[in-house]
């Protein structure tokens, strides 16, 4: 690991060295960057926050079409997409969550024109006439109110202009990429300006279907967006900005590969199936039996009011009101094989969100500047989800059962068939294609926060900042399911397991234990229900009765033993009955509150150099597990048992089938030293930080379901920097990065590989272990970005540019619970273009032009112990764009 425990000391010396030559700089870097990271318009140099700014010019010339592409120019920022287009996880400094579970709000807050987006199913491509994107590192809960414990991504678009202007753009690329977008703005009256923009994007998938499958090409693009604005400025001191937008997605996503082929692969192949990537991890071939339904419809309206209140001595009033709807539908063949193990995994979600923010800020002169406000959030989530077994699952489970069970009943080749016979079920009852689960979840979330921030200029150069926020968040959740999986609800550790084991002993005996079969014990008498009843009653004498009692008693003990002869079948009971809530023990409610603060001292060393020191705290409220894997807490077990609510297979003593309903709040703390310098040749921003999140909300897929838990404490120390250099006219060089030392300070009972060393360290094979002291999966120690752009004139009427950027990340384990599967990053992107005097632009671009191959994330194979499925990165893409500005 990088020894960043001493990075804070090193960075302090670095700040001192950089401060020394500042007095000799004569002219500031010509490009003054304005940001709103503190909810005021300030220059980047004067803002004592670690913030990376990506301008519209960079986004346009670097061909950044999606929020995922932004990470190539912002090293502290990472985006991963899992399972479907709606599951995007935003990460800053390695902290972030909220992917595959709709109940988990992200730790990184996403704001678009001041409006909080509670889910990250929004893409930059949906935003015509973008102005800039600000990525704020570290907890920002004091000013941003709702779940910003790891940072904020703030997207700012341009207001409508009173001058008529706009553009039309289209492009074509490999994989038949075709996109078109346009924007127009202008005045429709003396004090009203409007704008209208939109676009569409289509591309074939870069995953091809394997021979004999019908899933189609995965990872295609099919997106549409439209955005209308109106700006009303009837007076110099009042404005109203109305925004309406809608975006849709209808795609076949997301293709996977096989990173590790486990011991179940021969079983799948013997049944005539295959897995993606067996012919090469990066062959981009799927093994799906059908295309995926992956539809998103996102729309909303917001109104921002600005009013200068001179009668209050120089105060600006801001109100931002928004209402949003997000509907998504997902249906997929999610066993990631060509067999029909699962015929359908579906999820339909409706999210309605209302937000209201009020704030007033001082605008007058004087040493004290202040801002106070409040934020209200109201959201409802309705989700219907579930799955359906496929016709190939029974044969596959039979094979697994033969591997896992040490007891096979009678001459039957199928342990499932034998158990069906013994327990009186019809043949084919277990794991047939009519088995389904149908789940319904509803969540109502209401939250408000009150915040204030005060800046006091102690001297012309020293400014002290104090800020605080109180937040209160309440969630009410209900859930119920219908589940007809008979096998998963057998009491194999109880009465039914006793019957199964006893029947096996009565039939075959156990020579090693000296237990004869029923026929041997009773002198050739055949075993059947009648003879068993007579023997137990003593009709055949006390010896026969004692034999029956001995076998049944031993069988009961073996059934209760988690390592007994049926233990191999217990893992196949992955769909236990769901305990609906609220119920008489579980109220389905969480109510959290917290006070967060920020303290800063900023000092202007010279006109060119500012330094600051700060500490801030962050807060994220409880998140509920809105999946079929939501299980009651073990601490509720006794009360649930007393109330008679526990379904079969819930064992209070061993904790079997208990889990978590929700993860408690996250609380973050960061200490930071920063430097922001501007010289005649460029600019340097450096921040050294020590950041900790207590109770980090972790959700991990374990092969049959999701485990939601709070990590005790996760921290990182490091340095992030952003440097821009202009050595000669027209040439701009960028170098930015983050060096850090992430670690789980305390993470006991973490999800780990079942049966692995970490799992067995406590002597219990339960898929949990102690990750304390380990490096968290997916968080790089080194992440760097290099860029170079040269703008020049070809002729008096033709301007041109060439640009390249390089993104590097060191190797890291992709996910905590799949050791040995790693990710590294080495992407090169390039673009070049010309602009004619008549407003016509032509650009040629390529992303990942050297076709670097890596895995972006991974998960244990679905019902395939030892197999690891992964998401490979996007291969090389390239194209040409044509734009007409007017």
* Phi (first) and psi of residue 535, to 5 degrees: -65, -40
Which has more pLDDT, 25 or 206?
206
Q: Report d(CA 234, CA 252) in Å as an integer.
A: 48
Cβ neighbours of residue 6 closer than 8 Å, sequence gap 6 or more? none
Position 111 pLDDT exceeds 70? yes
Position 841 pLDDT exceeds 80? yes
Predicted confidence (pLDDT) per residue in 260-292, tens digit: 998 999 999 999 999 999 888 999 999 988 889
CB contact at 8 A, 625 and 383 = no
Domain extent listing, the chain: 4-391+433-490+572-885, 495-561
The residues facing 257 across adjacent strands are 870
pLDDT at position 411 is 39
What Å distances lie between residue 470 and 38, 106, 474, 669, 693, CA to CA? 17, 19, 14, 16, 18
Which residue blocks in 73-196 are alpha helix, DSSP H?
141-144
DSSP string for residues in 623-660: EE--STT----GGGHHHHHHTT-PPTT-BTTTTBT---
| Token pair 């932004």 in the structure block, residue | 70
Q: Report d(CA 381, CA 101) in Å as an integer.
A: 12
Which has more pLDDT, 652 or 415?
652
Q: Report d(CA 493, CA 330) in Å as an integer.
A: 36
Q: Which two tokens stand for residue 219?
A: 């990872």
Q: Report d(CA 621, CA 639) in Å as an integer.
A: 26
Band (pLDDT 50/70/90 cuts) for residue 603 is very high
Lowest mean pLDDT among 42-51, 100-109, 120-129: 120-129
CB contact at 8 A, 595 and 469 = yes
Residues written for the chain: 886
- DSSP 3-state of 20: helix
CATH topology of domain 4-391+433-490+572-885: Maltoporin; Chain A (2.40.170)
CB contact at 8 A, 643 and 632 = no
Lowest mean pLDDT among 173-177, 509-513, 660-664, 752-756: 752-756
DSSP for residue 95: B
CB contact at 8 A, 100 and 131 = no
Mean pLDDT computed over 168-190: 96
> Average model confidence (pLDDT) for the chain?
88
CB contact at 8 A, 455 and 370 = yes
Q: Which two tokens stand for residue 710?
A: 């709070």
Band (pLDDT 50/70/90 cuts) for residue 99 is low
| Token pair 């969550």 in the structure block, residue | 97
Position 21 pLDDT exceeds 70? no
Which residue blocks in 722-822 are alpha helix, DSSP H?
757-760
Q: Report d(CA 191, CA 187) in Å as an integer.
A: 8
| Token pair 């200029």 in the structure block, residue | 457
Share of the chain above pLDDT 90, in %: 63
Q: Which two tokens stand for residue 115?
A: 């409006």
Residue among 863, 846, 770, 778 nearest 818 (CA) = 778
Q: Report d(CA 211, CA 821) in Å as an integer.
A: 27
Q: Report d(CA 825, CA 814) in Å as an integer.
A: 12
Predicted confidence (pLDDT) per residue in 410-454, tens digit: 434 567 888 898 999 998 899 999 999 999 999 999 999 999 999
Q: Which two tokens stand for residue 41?
A: 């318009």
Give the Cβ contact number of residue 877 at 10 Å. Answer: 20
pLDDT at position 332 is 92
Query: Which burial class, exposed, middle or buried, applies to 38 when counting CB atoms under 10 A from its CB (0-12, 13-18, 19+)?
Result: buried
CB contact at 8 A, 341 and 298 = no
Q: Which two tokens stand for residue 667?
A: 């609380």
Position 91 pLDDT exceeds 80? yes
Report the predicted TM-score, pTM, of the whole model to 2 decimal places.
0.90
What Å distances lie between residue 704 and 229, 573, 701, 858, CA to CA? 46, 10, 7, 14
Residue 496 belongs to what H/E stretch? helix 495-508
What Å distances lie between residue 690 and 9, 502, 577, CA to CA? 12, 60, 44
Predicted confidence (pLDDT) per residue in 393-407, tens digit: 998 988 886 654 444
Q: Report d(CA 354, CA 364) in Å as an integer.
A: 32
What Å distances lie between residue 419 and 381, 484, 578, CA to CA? 41, 17, 23
Output the CA angle 216-217-223, nearest 5 degrees. Answer: 110
Backbone CA torsion sign across 417, 422, 425, 426: positive
Predicted confidence (pLDDT) per residue in 781-812, tens digit: 999 999 999 999 999 999 999 999 999 999 99
Q: Report d(CA 336, CA 329) in Å as an integer.
A: 19
Q: Report d(CA 777, CA 94) in Å as an integer.
A: 9
Mean pLDDT computed over 516-525: 93
pLDDT at position 109 is 87
DSSP for residue 341: S
């Amino acid at each position: 690991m990088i020894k960043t425990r001493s990075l804070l000391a090193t960075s302090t010396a670095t700040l001192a060295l950089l401060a020394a030559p500042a007095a000799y700089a004569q002219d500031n870097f010509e490009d003054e960057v304005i940001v709103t990271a503190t909810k005021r318009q300030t220059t980047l140099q004067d803002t004592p926050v670690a913030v990376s700014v990506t301008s519209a010019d960079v986004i346009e010339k670097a061909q950044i079409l999606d929020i995922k592409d932004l990470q190539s120019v912002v090293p502290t920022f990472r985006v991963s997409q899992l399972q479907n287009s709606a599951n995007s996880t935003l990460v800053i400094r390695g902290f972030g969550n909220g992917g595959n579970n709709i109940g988990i709000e992200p730790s990184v807050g996403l704001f678009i024109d001041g409006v909080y987006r509670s889910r990250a199913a929004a893409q930059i491509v949906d935003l015509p006439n973008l102005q800039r994107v600000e990525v704020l590192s570290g907890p920002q809960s004091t000013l941003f109110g709702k779940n910003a414990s790891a940072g904020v991504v703030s997207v700012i678009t341009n207001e409508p202009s009173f001058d008529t202007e706009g553009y039309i753009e289209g492009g074509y690329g490999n994989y038949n990429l075709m996109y078109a977008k346009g924007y127009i703005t202008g005045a429709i009256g003396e004090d009203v300006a409007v704008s209208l923009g939109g676009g569409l994007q289509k591309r074939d998938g870069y995953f091809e279907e394997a021979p004999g499958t019908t899933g189609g090409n995965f990872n295609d693009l099919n997106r549409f967006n439209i955005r209308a604005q109106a700006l009303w400025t009837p007076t110099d001191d009042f404005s109203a900005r109305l925004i309406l937008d809608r975006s849709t997605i209808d795609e076949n996503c997301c293709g996977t590969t096989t990173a590790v082929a486990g011991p179940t692969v021969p079983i799948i192949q013997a049944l005539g199936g295959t897995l993606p990537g067996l012919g090469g991890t990066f062959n981009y071939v799927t093994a799906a039996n059908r295309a995926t339904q992956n539809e998103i419809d996102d729309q909303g309206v917001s109104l921002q009011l600005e009013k200068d209140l001179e009668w209050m001595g120089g105060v600006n009033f801001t109100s931002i009101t928004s209402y949003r709807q997000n509907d998504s539908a997902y249906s997929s063949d999610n066993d990631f094989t060509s067999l029909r193990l699962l015929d359908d995994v579906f999820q339909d979600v409706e999210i309605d969100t209302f937000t209201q923010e009020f704030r007033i800020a001082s605008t007058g002169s004087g040493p004290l500047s202040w801002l106070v406000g409040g934020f209200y959030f109201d959201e409802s989530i309705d989700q219907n989800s579930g799955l359906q077994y496929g016709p190939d699952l029974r044969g596959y489970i039979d094979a697994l059962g033969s591997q896992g069970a040490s007891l096979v009943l009678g001459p039957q080749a199928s342990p499932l068939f034998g158990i069906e016979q013994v327990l009186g079920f019809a043949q084919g009852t277990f794991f047939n294609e009519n088995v389904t689960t149908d789940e319904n979840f509803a969540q109502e979330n209401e939250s408000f926060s009150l915040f204030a921030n005060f800046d006091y200029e102690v001297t012309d150069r020293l400014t002290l900042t104090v800020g605080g926020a109180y937040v209160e968040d309440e969630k009410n959740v209900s859930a119920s399911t219908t589940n007809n999986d008979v096998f998963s609800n057998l009491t194999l550790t109880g009465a039914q397991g006793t019957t199964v084991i006893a029947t096996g002993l009565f039939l075959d005996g156990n020579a090693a234990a000296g237990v004869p079969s029923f026929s041997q014990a009773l002198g050739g008498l055949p075993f059947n229900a009648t003879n068993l009843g007579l023997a137990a009653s003593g009709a055949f004498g006390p010896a026969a009765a004692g034999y029956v009692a001995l076998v049944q008693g031993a069988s009961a003990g073996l059934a209760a033993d988690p390592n007994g002869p049926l233990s191999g079948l217990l893992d196949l009971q992955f769909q236990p009955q769901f305990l609906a809530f609220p119920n008489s023990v579980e109220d389905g409610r969480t109510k959290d509150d917290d006070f967060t603060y920020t303290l800063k001292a900023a000092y202007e060393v010279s006109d060119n150099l500012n330094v600051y020191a700060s500490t801030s705290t962050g807060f994220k409220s409880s998140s509920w597990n809105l999946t079929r894997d939501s299980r009651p807490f073990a601490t509720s077990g006794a009360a649930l048992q007393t109330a008679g609510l526990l379904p079969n297979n819930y064992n209070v003593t061993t904790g079997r089938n208990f889990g978590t309903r929700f993860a408690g709040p996250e609380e973050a703390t960061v200490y930071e030293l920063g430097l922001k310098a501007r010289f005649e040749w460029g600019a340097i921003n450096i921040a050294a930080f020590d950041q900790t999140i207590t109770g980090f909300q972790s959700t991990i897929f374990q092969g049959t379901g999701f485990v939601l838990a709070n990590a005790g404490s996760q921290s990182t120390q490091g340095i992030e920097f952003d440097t821009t250099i202009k050595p000669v006219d027209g040439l701009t060089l960028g170098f930015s990065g983050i060096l850090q030392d992430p670690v789980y300070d305390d993470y006991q009972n973490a999800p780990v590989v079942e049966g692995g060393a970490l799992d067995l360290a406590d002597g219990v094979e339960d898929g949990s272990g102690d990750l304390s002291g380990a490096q968290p999966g997916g968080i790089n120690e080194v992440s760097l970005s290099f860029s170079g752009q040269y703008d020049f004139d070809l002729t008096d009427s033709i301007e041109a540019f060439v640009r390249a950027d390089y993104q590097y990340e060191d190797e890291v384990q992709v996910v905590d619970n799949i050791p040995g599967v790693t990710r590294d990053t080495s992407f090169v992107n390039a673009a070049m273009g010309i602009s004619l005097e008549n407003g016509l632009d032509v650009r040629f671009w390529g992303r990942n032009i050297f076709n670097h191959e890596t895995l972006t994330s991974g998960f244990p194979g679905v019902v395939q112990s030892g197999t690891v499925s992964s998401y490979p990165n996007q291969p090389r893409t390239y194209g040409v764009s044509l734009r007409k500005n007017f």
